[in-house]
A and B are shown apart, each in its own frame.
Chain A
């Protein structure tokens, strides 16, 4: 079992729809969770961090954390073609980040 698991996709949504990206992790003691967006050939860009159970909203992005279920998700409202990228879930473990393989999101005009 991988430490951080994501569906590789691609996840295809129409412009204006809600995109839902999911991630599960294996270390129940994990405390810090991050979502990075990576465009092809570019660096991972931090878009959300979440540390406690519940929802955290920032603009069109909402991160959701459920530690009991070891589950993190990212919702993107009003998806735009410019949101098309790979979304990486990362869990912090003794300083280092453990990444999932990433989910490719395609937003179709």
Chain B
């Protein structure tokens, strides 16, 4: 069974540019989460999709971040315009719905974003 995949693995952009990150969850997992780790800090929650609906977006830093999950499959996270403080590693995780198995979250390899 394929795990969570993310693309790209690395992205280097200049301040003011736009970047779109993609996450493909484990097949059949309806829960999809985005997290971010900035240097020296702990991994922090950004938002949570259940299928195509945003369940919780309390961790989104500001309106420069836009997440979508059209069709309830893969998700994208767009940062526009990027700022220096957006640099970090963006992780995606997925889990099945309760009752469909253990409700544990499985993480992708992350996208390392560097904003210059």
**B110 at interface (Cβ–Cβ under 8 A)?**
yes
Q: With a CB–CB cut-off of 8 A, which chain A residues contact B110? A: 43
Task: Tell me the smallest distance from the CB of A74 to a CB of chain B, in Å.
Answer: 15
Q: How many A-B residue pairs have CB under 8 A?
A: 49
Number of interface residues of B (CB under 8 A): 24
Do the beta carbons of B41 and A96 come within 8 Å of each other?
Answer: no
- Point out which of B43, B55, B93, B107 has the most chain A C-beta atoms below 10 A from its C-beta: B43
Task: Tell me the smallest distance from the CB of A86 to a CB of chain B, in Å.
Answer: 11
Do the beta carbons of B42 and A101 come within 8 Å of each other?
Answer: yes
Residue B43 contacts which of A2, A32, A94, A99 (CB distance < 8 angstroms)? A99
Do the beta carbons of A95 and B31 come within 8 Å of each other?
Answer: yes
**B74 at interface (Cβ–Cβ under 8 A)?**
no
Q: With a CB–CB cut-off of 8 A, which chain B residues contact A97? A: 33, 35, 43, 45, 93, 105
Give the complex CA separation of A36 and B105 in angstroms. Answer: 10
Chain A: residues with CB nearer than 8 A to chain B? 2, 4, 32, 34, 36, 42-46, 49, 88, 94-102
